[in-house]
Amino acid sequence: MRQNGGLIKTPDQPLIDVDELPIPAYHFLPMNKYRFTAFGKFTTILSSRGCPHKCTFCSEWRFWGAKWRPRDPKAVVDEMEILNKEYGRECFWFGDDCFNVDGEHIHGICEEIIKRGLDISWYYQGRADLVIKHKELLPEMRKAGNLMAQIGVESSTDRELREFNKQLTTREVGEAVELLRQNDIVCQGLLLIGSRNDSARSIEHKVRYMKWLDVDFPIFTMFTPFPGSDVYEEAKANGQLETVDYSLYNMANAIMPTEYLSRRQLTSWYHWCFTSCYTDPVKLARGLFSRNSWKRRVWRHMVWFTIKQFIHAIW
């Protein structure tokens, strides 16, 4: 807070019990306007706050106090049922920092969805090693409407994963991707480029690794030193931040150079990563003609959108 022209730091407040929070006032929102073309009648919901892991590039765990606080599964599905029956929401994105922390929590949500006969689909962001830990729940998750999992691949080498304090290995990532595939759950994999030791060669290796993993939707994100993260403090101390325009801190813009590449070069490589994966004729064909109807629909939407953008640019 501010007082007499200066800043006063107030003591940290105790973390709130997430089950005491009321359901958001959806009746004040234009719910009928919220829609993702590829997802349909879409909305976001939280089943927990925080994350117990401490990745160096993440500021979320520090913001929430490095604790994971789950909501009562029944309360979560109560909210989903209201959104489905009163507002026609059919598709849910769990905006949790890490949805798949606890098996009992996942099971509780799935059990409630199935018991109530909700005809919905849902997606989440989670860890690859936890996909493996709770692999016995994957069939139930799929039955309850889980169509896609977004997992943090992050790197193509165990060395860099250790530097990120990810507590994960490339072997585990590969196993998680295969488990999702076996259970007909679409996999979206996020991989970082632009870390301090990245070079043209290492970025090429990351793309080859993503193709080898064969995740359904590879997503490349620019290594971004978010304020509050370990990497931000390190970059700031070493004078590596080349911009403090926080509107660019969106995981799509290069904020600092690497030891080998300038920000401009990184931007070029960033675009090349996507182009290399999504113009691969084999991957394109497998996406467009996938046996998974949702995956097939998303791929066809992406291709049609790209064609329209290309025609518009020429016109």
Instruction: Please compute the mean of the pLDDT values over residues 299-304 and round it to a whole number.
Output: 86
pLDDT at residue 226, rounded to an integer: 92
Among 10-24, 104-118, 218-232, name the most confident range.
104-118
Range of the domain at 269: 16-296
Widest distance between CA atoms in the chain: 65
Joined tokens for residue 37: 């073309």
Instruction: Please compute the mean of the pLDDT values over residues 138-159 and round it to a whole number.
Output: 96
Average pLDDT, the chain: 92
CATH value at residue 205 = 3.80.30.20
Pick from 68, 28, 75, 67: nearest CA to 48 = 68
pLDDT at residue 1, rounded to an integer: 62
pLDDT at residue 64, rounded to an integer: 81
Instruction: Please compute the mean of the pLDDT values over residues 286-301 and round it to a whole number.
Output: 90
Q: Tell me the pLDDT tens digit for each residue of 39-59.
A: 778 899 999 999 999 999 998
Q: Is residue 206 part of a domain?
A: yes
Reduce the DSSP state of residue 190 to 3 states and report it.
strand
Residue 110 pLDDT > 90: yes
Q: Is residue 7 part of a domain?
A: no
Cβ proximity of 84 and 41 under 8 Å: no
Q: Is residue 312 part of a domain?
A: no
| Helix (H), strand (E) counts: the chain | 12, 10
Rounded-to-integer distance, Cα 191 and Cα 207, Å: 9
Helix axes 293-314, 281-288, angle to 10 degrees: 120
pLDDT at residue 308, rounded to an integer: 82
Pick from 166, 181, 81, 162: nearest CA to 127 = 166
Strand partners, 45: 94
Q: Tell me the pLDDT tens digit for each residue of 258-288.
A: 999 999 999 999 999 999 999 999 999 999 9
Instruction: Please compute the mean of the pLDDT values over residues 173-199 and round it to a whole number.
Output: 96
pLDDT at residue 214, rounded to an integer: 94
Q: Is residue 301 part of a domain?
A: no
Residue 311 pLDDT > 90: no
Joined tokens for residue 129: 């090693």
Pick from 178, 101, 165, 158: nearest CA to 133 = 101
Q: Is residue 291 part of a domain?
A: yes
Q: Domain tally for the chain? A: 1
Q: Is residue 159 part of a domain?
A: yes
Cβ proximity of 149 and 177 under 8 Å: no
Rounded-to-integer distance, Cα 99 and Cα 103, Å: 10
Rounded-to-integer distance, Cα 199 and Cα 125, Å: 28
Those residues whose C-beta lies under 8 Å from the C-beta of residue 93, and which sit 6 or more positions away, are: 39, 42, 43, 44, 45, 122, 123, 124
Over the range 118-155, which residues count as b (16 or more CB within 10 Å of their CB) and which as e? bebbbbbbbbbbbbebbbebbebbeebbbbbbbbbbbb
Lookup result for tokens 């290796």: 205
Using a pLDDT cut of 90, give the percent of the chain over it: 79
pLDDT at residue 302, rounded to an integer: 85
Instruction: Please compute the mean of the pLDDT values over residues 32-42 and round it to a whole number.
Output: 80
Q: Is residue 195 part of a domain?
A: yes
Residue 36 pLDDT > 80: no
Rounded-to-integer distance, Cα 92 and Cα 100, Å: 15
Rounded-to-integer distance, Cα 256 and Cα 245, Å: 12
Joined tokens for residue 99: 């949805």
Residue 16 pLDDT > 90: no
Q: Is residue 219 part of a domain?
A: yes
